[in-house]
Structure formats: C-alpha cells, structure tokens
Structure 1
Amino acid sequence: MTQVKAPLPVMPSHVHWSPMPGHEVHEAMPDIRVSEALWSTGVLPEGILERWLVEDGAVVREGEALATARIGDALHDIVSSAAGRVAWMAPAGGLIDPGCIIARVATR
C-alpha cells in the first residue's frame, strides 16, 4: 500500500516570521568572497589563497585586509566587508575560484 503525504502548508504573505519564545536569532555572518573581477584579465580558472593576514577568530574592521590571493602572477588583498570576528572558511595555500567564500564575519 502506497502512503500519500499531505502537502506542507504555505504561510500567508501577511504573516511575518519571528523566532519562538526562548529561541535566539543567530548573529549575522556576512560572507567574505573572492571578487570575480580579479579574473577579468586572466585566463586561469582558479587562484591560490596565499596567506591569511589575520588570525582565525580575530576581531577585524570593515575594509581591513584579511588575506592575500594570487591570481596568475598578481597578488591581491581580500578585504573585510564588515566589522566583527572573522572565521576562516578556506585554508592558506588552497585553491580559490571566482566568487568563492573564504571567510565569514560575525557582526554581533
């Protein structure tokens, strides 16, 4: 005998979501991405995350250089898009692609 599942209910557009009492909303974590524009003049499909300029877990400022990436023969600084505590998502020496996430920043 085949069991049929009922469709999930759809929340009406006039209802706004809010967390349940006693549940916290997690802090914002903006992504730090390697800009696709860094590949605009190169033909290589990937680059290398040469080194981190800050420690994992360090508190950083918006606009602060976090890492150095090598794309072709050029070195580029990757800067933070927000102030907060950085969490590495990619290892130094690892391959990177256009638009890939290398870190997140906890803003609260």
Structure 2
Amino acid sequence: MIQINADPDSMPLPASRRPLFERLEAREAAMPDVRVSENLWSTGMLPEGILERWIVQDGARVQAGEAVAAVRIGEALHDIVSPAGGRLEVMACASEVVDPGCIIAEVHA
C-alpha cells in the first residue's frame, strides 16, 4: 500500500493560482535572450561594439542558429545568432552602442 502525504502546504499551486511575479519569471525564462557574446571582445582594450544592422526584421520567425544581427567590434563584423527558434522581438536599434553580454533581442515561442 502506498501512502501519500497530502499536506496542503507542501503541494504546488496550479499555474493560474501562483503569484503574478512567479508566472512572469517562468514566462521570461522561456524566452531566450539574443545576446552579444562577451567572447567577441578578446581584451578589455577593444572599443565598444556597434549594432551595425539587423539581418532579420522585428517580428520575423527565426530558427536556432540563424544569424539575426551584425555587430562591429573594432574592424571586425560579427554575426549574432538566435539561441532558439521563434518570433524575434528586437530590443536595440541599429547603430546603437553595445557592451559585452548585452541583450539585443528576445525570441518568443
């Protein structure tokens, strides 16, 4: 015979009954960020990066690994790829200054 511990305080709430901030955190965790990789800067001495252009338009469907933007760091132009498939939501404008690790877009399922 299996005994189930039915303590109401230990049971998880259904998603609709969880506090709003928990639902938003879960939703945000499901939306991968498109970031400018810190690895593109080989030293701290390089100038800031510039978001040169968007290869994919805002709202377009993208696939994981697809190039979505181009960032210029010094003389080099680097493609930024989508970490997941979905709809791209642009969060940074072309010609904007970017820092290592900054978020330039989100991908929505």
The residue correspondences of 1:28-107 to structure 2 (distance < 5 A) are 28-41=30-43, 43-107=45-109
Task: Flag the structure with higher helix content.
Answer: 2
Measure how far apart 1:18 and its partner are: 3.5
Secondary structure, in 3 states, of the residue corresponding to 1:20? helix
Cα contact 2:47–2:74 (8 A) shared by 1? no
Root-mean-square deviation (Å): 2.4
**Aligned pair 1:19/2:19, yes or no?**
no
Q: Deviations over 1:21-44 (max 9, x none)?
A: 6x9874721101000000014622
- In 1: Cα distance, 2:14 partner to 2:81 partner: 33
Measure how far apart 1:46 and its partner are: 1.6
Which structure 1 residue ranges, 4+ long, deviate > 6 Å from structure 2? none
- Change in Cα spacing, 1:39 to 1:85, as seen in structure 2 (3 Å) is same
Measure how far apart 1:16 and its partner are: 3.1
Measure how far apart 1:45 and its partner are: 4.6
Secondary structure, in 3 states, of the residue corresponding to 1:32? strand
Secondary structure, in 3 states, of the residue corresponding to 2:39? helix
- Number of aligned residue pairs: give it: 94
TM-score (ref. length: structure 1): 0.76
Q: Which runs of 5+ in 2 are unaligned?
A: 1-8
- In 2: Cα distance, 1:29 partner to 1:56 partner: 15
TM-score (ref. length: structure 2): 0.75
Secondary structure, in 3 states, of the residue corresponding to 2:72? strand
Secondary structure, in 3 states, of the residue corresponding to 1:87? strand
Q: 2:72 is aligned with what amino acid?
A: R
Q: Which residue of 1 aligns with 2:4?
A: none
